[in-house]
Structure 1
Amino acid sequence: MMTITKRFWISLIFSFPMLLGMVMMPFGWMVPGGAWTQLILTTIVMAVSARPFLQSAWASFQKHHSNMDTLVAIGTATAYFYSVYAMFTNQAVFFESAAFVVTFVLLGQVFEERMRNNASNAIEKLVDLQAKEAEVLRDGQLVKIPLSDVVAGDIIKVKPGQKVAVDGVITDGNSTVDESMVTGESMPVDKVVGDKVIGSTINNTGTFMFRAEKVGNETMLSQIVELVKKAQNSHAPIQKLTDKISEIFVPIVLILSITTFLVWYVFLGATLANALIFAVSVVVIACPCALGLATPTALMVGTGRGAKMGILIKNGEVLEEVSDVKTVVFDKTGTITNGKPEVTDIIGDEQQILAIAAGLEESSEHPLATAILDRAKELKITPATTNNFQAIEGKGVQAIVDNHEAFVGNDKLLADVKITKAMEQQMIQLQNAAKTVVFVGMNQKIIGLIAIQDAPKETSKAAIATLRARGLRTVMLTGDNIRVAQAIAKQVGIDEVIADVLPGDKADHVQALQKESKVAFVGDGINDAPALTMADVGIAMGSGTDIAIESGGIVLVKNDLRDVAKALELSKKTFNRIKLNLFWAFIYNVLGIPVAAGLFFTIGLTLSPELAGLAMAFSSLSVVTSSVLLNKAKISTDGKIA
């Protein structure tokens, strides 16, 4: 199948002699062969370059539909076949109108193709960022192998200046790494043993070894490329509106065109040729080809711009929903806070309490369990041996330790067990200090408390202040108790707190908030996935679980809460640009139809079919230019876009 660019060049080459003839006509020069040469040149244009328009229009007609190609096909075919008739009856011909219209319509489509190619090239450049080979430890020796041969579990060496081959975790050494090509963060990031590294980022200063965890299509770069591709090929719901408008618009234009012909030919006594010129001009100027460019070009530029900043917008639907969001709901752990809680206080027999707690939490992956196990390991306390392990939903866990029934959990357990007044007062003091209290008990009695604190991220306060400054309501939704949640909320400036929420109930609370306004939910954990899906806009932190990232409509690669404001503003700007594009796509048609129909003929203002086609091409150019300007948007640290 011939490309649009080839069709355009064929149309331009065979139309050019007729264009030259029009320009040189005042000087007495005409195309050799006259109408016969024009017939041959235009027939080639119609048969080769215009054929897809004719085929598309015919296919739509058979399905009782109409589209943009219908207007182009009818306009050019009318001009062409009338000119054939006029040539054999010794009347004026306007073959050049048919040829020029095809040329200018294709010019507009070339703009669109260039736009899509630029978007594709941007994706290809992302792929090209990958390293081509890696220095891997095999059989005790370091050997260089192609990137495709690297497997999960390989130990890879990275020297200063080299690219990190795949995603993994540093096992030896330290360095600073330039992650700007993936996260958009310009400052190098310090890396030590245990830190994660991202494939395709550049090692700056030190040498380190890391264990490959994600390879091939599983790497973050590959996921980013895939998400950007999907977003750029998606459709915003507003596109459906434009499709509906097109189905109504095309028949109206055809009626206007026929009416124009009848008025001029029947009532005003114009010649058949002049009446047809007015009718064809109406069809051509009314063809809003730019309408098809308005949404996809802005979507491609906006999502591409976001990817460079570490903000992945997954689809066009997100853009439309963002414009009406009034409430932003945050998960606490790992979203507002660092997600790396540490044990700060132990009330009771430290040895006994940590042994029991570590024994019961040994198989858990919860951040609080990790904090307890880390402290036990630090103090070299051996976890207690447990039997008959059982989870208590929403409360904690229990098991048999030394023939006694032991349990570890949150304050929901207090309804079922006994706690002394002194220990209860200590619990309140710890919770008021924004510390989460874990209860350790035996035989239906609390024997100790473990206080764990997960401090807010440095950027959380500034991020939430920016959202509030824009008039957005901020809410924290957490399974933690009300005192700890309120203490954290006070530190970072959250408006409202919903605490003591069971994991399975988060989505229900989001749904309740949606009765008041549209809601964006920001989270990172497995238990956040239902809420991310339920929210009008789900924003997943890039450091979160795969299932959370999959559930979110926007992914923040840098795991920086300040990017929430940037993501919302960029999405809103992109959607507003789509609406601006739709305005420009229609304004040419609305203003041009009366001129093309000859309403201003008496003052000498007319629009020939070829000029109508040129105006239509400039309509497409204006839409593409409008979309490209999104690339020039400047984003400040407070999330505002210039």
Structure 2
Amino acid sequence: MEEHVNCQKYEHTPEHTHEHTHNHEHAHGHNHGQSPVVLFFVGLLLFIAGLLLHRVIGEFSNGLFFLVVVFSGYHVIGEGFGDTYRASVAAKKFVPNIHLLMTLAAVGAMLLGNFEEAALLILIFAGAHFLEEYAEGKSRREITNLLNLNPTEAQLLQADGTTKTVSVAKLSIGDRVKVLNGAQVPTDGKIISGTTAIDESSINGESMPKEKTVGDEVFGSTINGSGVITVEVTKDSSDTVFAKILQLVNQSQANLSPTASKIKQFEPRYVSFVLLLLPLIIIAGPFVFQWTWEDSFYRGLVFLISASPCALAASAVPATLSGISNLAKKGVLFKGGAFLANLADLKAIAFDKTGTLTAGKPSVTDFELVVPDAEPLVKEIVYNMERQSNHPLATAIVQYLKDQVTVRELLVENVIGVGLEATVDGNLYQISKPSVFQTVCEEMQTKQQRLANEGKTVIYIGCNQQVIGLIALMDVPNEQAKQAISYFRSQNVRTTMITGDAQLTGEAVGRTLGVDQVIANVLPEEKSKMIDEQKATYGIVGMVGDGVNDAPALVKADIGIAMGDGTDVAIDVADVVVMNNDLEKLSEAYRVSKRLNKIVWQNIIFSMAVVGILVVLNFMGLANITFGVIVHEGSTLVVIVNGLRLLINQK
């Protein structure tokens, strides 16, 4: 069995040291608070008043339109000049933004006396900007709704048996808390009394409640069912599973996709180019297009609006946040949008075996006797012998037989190097490895060899030194892993299982799962070398694991994927965490990644096409400020809504 450390859960620290460093800043969002929104609607009312008075008192209505620009556009103007100044000082070069373009266009329109168009420009741009922020905020709220589940109070048991309501932050390891039916479990702990069913969907995305009893772990933020339980605190409130999930959520929102980062880096260069072209277009207008100077200046303003990259800037961020939030609700946590975007580019994916593709513990696969009629008696004897042992194989056998037999007391001896022995009705029964028995019938030998070739561990059942049956056990592949591997192969992603098990055992599991390649007899320190070889052969490689020995390979891989039930170290260095050890969720993440990349490119192509069409129409004299603003900002809304589709599950 390969080396595997199975800690209770994980304590994730925010530091993430990765050989392939990704530092994609998300500097697109602006949190304006409530005041600009209120002023926006004040400006909207003034605009309506200006339209009603325009034919009656023209000059007065122009004053109202000017106030619209001031009230509805105060944050646009502030970010246009203020952010440009601050960014330029920091970068020691001119770093303009989209807001500056819109501000200059509005000022230019008013200089030409087009106050109504200037007001409309600011109103629609500011409104679209607020809607973009709302869209991004919706995605963030979808993710950070977890915060609403963060428990704040606990019922602390006192020495006299009474309870006292205390802050969760004041709980210490070893404290005992009572959790009433329907209440929230306040922190991570272990049940010391009571039985219940707990809804753990906030932790692992699993909708079905899980039965819990004395000795079982419970996790903060989960919801207790109908039973009343007493829980002993095992972790500080800042180290609970839920607290670590929130850390991952915060990381994912701060680290967005490479496309979003490139667009952000491209934006000031693009805006600078547009500002450079503006005077050239105005000067060239009368000479090339025979425009008047006033028309040329006006066409320059329309160009300023048409060429603004508003929709382009919104192409990636809302979509990436939507994809991350959708997967977070399903129990797949990404430490950044870069990893979600890159997942679709995987060429190969390697899996650790134990605890990742398999359950991580043995299960009985075969129970065969020479004389089948004796099965009820032999099963009863085997069960009552094995239940007195704490060996992992014994635990698996007891679990397999517990519903088939009757409990009886036997005097059992654990003979070192031999196995378990017990005398029942004058007969000596033994449960031992095959090498203990000198004479074995040909039928049992054949079965033992066949099962061993399938990678199973075989133990014999003996009666008076004669083998009367055998039990075969194996760390059984889980169904979700088989489906996930089948899916990745269908997407032409090469699958490899890396295991420390013997070649025979590894190949047997590999055949069951359908992986393309099995690499067995691998020492823990060799796993990262295997990832290097895979990267050199195939390109972008993912690694899935859960143990301490998987950590170097997770770091080495382009995308490291840790199982949520794995060790702290594996989860700390990974880029993606799959809760509930369900690899089907990884398949879903791959599908979302492909949709994300498709939607982002749709948005980029659409937004630049709209810019191109508007610029051409402007030079043809077929576009004005009103038309340019409506079409341009309309394209921004289309792009945002297209990105929000990732919040919806695709059937």
Deviation at 1:533, TM superposition (A): 1.4
Residues 1:111 and 2:131 are matched in the alignment: yes
Q: How big is the alpha-carbon RMSD for the aligned residues of Structure 1 and Structure 2? A: 3.6
Asked whether the equivalents of residues 154 and 186 of structure 2 are also in contact (C-alpha less than 8 Å), the reply is yes
1:100 maps to: 120
Aligned partners of 1:375 and 1:580: how far apart in 2? 53
Select 2:643's aligned residue among 618, 623, 627: 627
Aligned partners of 1:21 and 1:499: how far apart in 2? 78
Stretch deviating more after TM superposition (5-14 or 579-588): 5-14
Residues 1:607 and 2:624 are matched in the alignment: yes
Deviation at 1:313, TM superposition (A): 1.4
Label 1:262 to 1:18 Cα distance change in 2 as closer, same or farther (>3 A).
farther
Residues 1:541 and 2:563 are matched in the alignment: yes
Aligned partners of 1:474 and 1:613: how far apart in 2? 50
1:51 maps to: 78
Deviation at 1:270, TM superposition (A): 3.1
Select 2:344's aligned residue among 323, 332, 347: 323
Asked whether the equivalents of residues 47 and 64 of structure 2 are also in contact (C-alpha less than 8 Å), the reply is no
Residues 1:528 and 2:558 are matched in the alignment: no
2:318 maps to: 297
Asked whether the equivalents of residues 143 and 329 of structure 2 are also in contact (C-alpha less than 8 Å), the reply is no
What letter matches 2:562 in structure 1? A
Normalised by the size of structure 2, how large is the TM-score? Answer: 0.75
What letter matches 1:3 in structure 2? H
Asked whether the equivalents of residues 107 and 617 of structure 1 are also in contact (C-alpha less than 8 Å), the reply is no
Aligned partners of 2:85 and 2:526: how far apart in 1? 54
- Secondary structure in structure 1 of the residue aligned to 2:316: helix
Residues 1:33 and 2:50 are matched in the alignment: no
2:271 maps to: 250
Deviation at 1:54, TM superposition (A): 1.9
Aligned partners of 1:107 and 1:43: how far apart in 2? 14
Asked whether the equivalents of residues 50 and 62 of structure 2 are also in contact (C-alpha less than 8 Å), the reply is no
Residues 1:148 and 2:169 are matched in the alignment: yes
Aligned partners of 1:245 and 1:49: how far apart in 2? 20
1:222 maps to: 243
Asked whether the equivalents of residues 178 and 230 of structure 2 are also in contact (C-alpha less than 8 Å), the reply is yes
Label 1:32 to 1:15 Cα distance change in 2 as closer, same or farther (>3 A).
farther
Select 2:584's aligned residue among 562, 565, 572: 562
2:385 maps to: none
- Secondary structure in structure 1 of the residue aligned to 2:537: coil
Alignment of 1:406-445 (within 5 A): 431-435=452-456
Deviation at 1:476, TM superposition (A): 0.6
Alignment of 1:305-316 (within 5 A): 305-316=326-337
1:13 maps to: 42
- Secondary structure in structure 1 of the residue aligned to 2:266: helix
- Secondary structure in structure 1 of the residue aligned to 2:183: coil
Stretch deviating more after TM superposition (531-540 or 205-214): 205-214
Asked whether the equivalents of residues 232 and 296 of structure 1 are also in contact (C-alpha less than 8 Å), the reply is no
- Secondary structure in structure 1 of the residue aligned to 2:197: strand
Aligned partners of 1:622 and 1:519: how far apart in 2? 34
Deviation at 1:556, TM superposition (A): 0.9
Alignment of 1:130-149 (within 5 A): 130-139=150-159, 141-146=161-166, 147-149=168-170
Label 1:65 to 1:159 Cα distance change in 2 as closer, same or farther (>3 A).
closer
Higher RCO (C-alpha 8 Å, min separation 6):
2
Alignment of 1:81-480 (within 5 A): 82-83=111-112, 93-139=113-159, 141-146=161-166, 147-341=168-362, 371=392, 381=414, 431-435=452-456, 453-480=474-501
Aligned partners of 1:228 and 1:480: how far apart in 2? 36
Stretch deviating more after TM superposition (336-345 or 281-290): 336-345
Aligned partners of 1:511 and 1:427: how far apart in 2? 38
Alignment of 1:574-613 (within 5 A): 574-595=596-617, 597-599=618-620, 601=621, 605-608=622-625, 610-613=626-629
Stretch deviating more after TM superposition (523-532 or 3-12): 3-12
Deviation at 1:485, TM superposition (A): 0.7
Deviation at 1:129, TM superposition (A): 1.7
Label 1:590 to 1:437 Cα distance change in 2 as closer, same or farther (>3 A).
farther
Select 1:503's aligned residue among 501, 519, 524: 524
Deviation at 1:370, TM superposition (A): 6.9
Aligned partners of 2:265 and 2:452: how far apart in 1? 57
What letter matches 2:595 in structure 1? K
What letter matches 1:326 in structure 2? K
- Per-residue CA distance 1:220-276 (angstroms, 9 max, x = gap): 222222211211121211223213432442233234433432343344443333221
- Secondary structure in structure 2 of the residue aligned to 1:459: helix
- Secondary structure in structure 2 of the residue aligned to 1:515: helix
Residues 1:3 and 2:32 are matched in the alignment: yes
Deviation at 1:379, TM superposition (A): 6.2
Aligned partners of 1:585 and 1:379: how far apart in 2? 77
Structure 1 gaps of 5+ residues are: 84-92, 346-368, 385-419, 439-449, 635-641
Aligned partners of 1:380 and 1:120: how far apart in 2? 60
Deviation at 1:592, TM superposition (A): 1.2
Percent sequence identity is 28
What letter matches 1:480 in structure 2? D
1:490 maps to: 511
Aligned partners of 2:125 and 2:642: how far apart in 1? 19
1:72 maps to: 102
Label 1:12 to 1:431 Cα distance change in 2 as closer, same or farther (>3 A).
same
Aligned partners of 1:66 and 1:580: how far apart in 2? 26
Aligned partners of 1:228 and 1:519: how far apart in 2? 24
- Secondary structure in structure 2 of the residue aligned to 1:434: coil
- Secondary structure in structure 1 of the residue aligned to 2:198: strand
Label 1:316 to 1:467 Cα distance change in 2 as closer, same or farther (>3 A).
same
Aligned partners of 2:518 and 2:350: how far apart in 1? 10
Aligned partners of 2:239 and 2:319: how far apart in 1? 28
- Per-residue CA distance 1:31-64 (angstroms, 9 max, x = gap): 4536566556656667675233122334455623
Aligned partners of 2:482 and 2:151: how far apart in 1? 38
Deviation at 1:619, TM superposition (A): 2.5
Aligned partners of 1:613 and 1:588: how far apart in 2? 12
Label 1:317 to 1:59 Cα distance change in 2 as closer, same or farther (>3 A).
same
Label 1:263 to 1:134 Cα distance change in 2 as closer, same or farther (>3 A).
same
Stretch deviating more after TM superposition (224-233 or 136-145): 136-145
Aligned partners of 2:413 and 2:57: how far apart in 1? 99
Normalised by the size of structure 1, how large is the TM-score? Answer: 0.76
Aligned pair count reads 546
Deviation at 1:292, TM superposition (A): 2.6
Stretch deviating more after TM superposition (161-170 or 329-338): 161-170
Stretch deviating more after TM superposition (465-474 or 300-309): 465-474
What letter matches 1:479 in structure 2? G
- Per-residue CA distance 1:554-605 (angstroms, 9 max, x = gap): 111121122221122122222332333323332321221112x331x3xxx3
Stretch deviating more after TM superposition (138-147 or 179-188): 138-147
Aligned partners of 2:215 and 2:64: how far apart in 1? 76
Deviation at 1:70, TM superposition (A): 3.6
- Per-residue CA distance 1:420-443 (angstroms, 9 max, x = gap): 9x9x999976642423699xxxxx
Asked whether the equivalents of residues 431 and 437 of structure 1 are also in contact (C-alpha less than 8 Å), the reply is yes
Asked whether the equivalents of residues 68 and 287 of structure 1 are also in contact (C-alpha less than 8 Å), the reply is yes
Asked whether the equivalents of residues 549 and 555 of structure 1 are also in contact (C-alpha less than 8 Å), the reply is yes
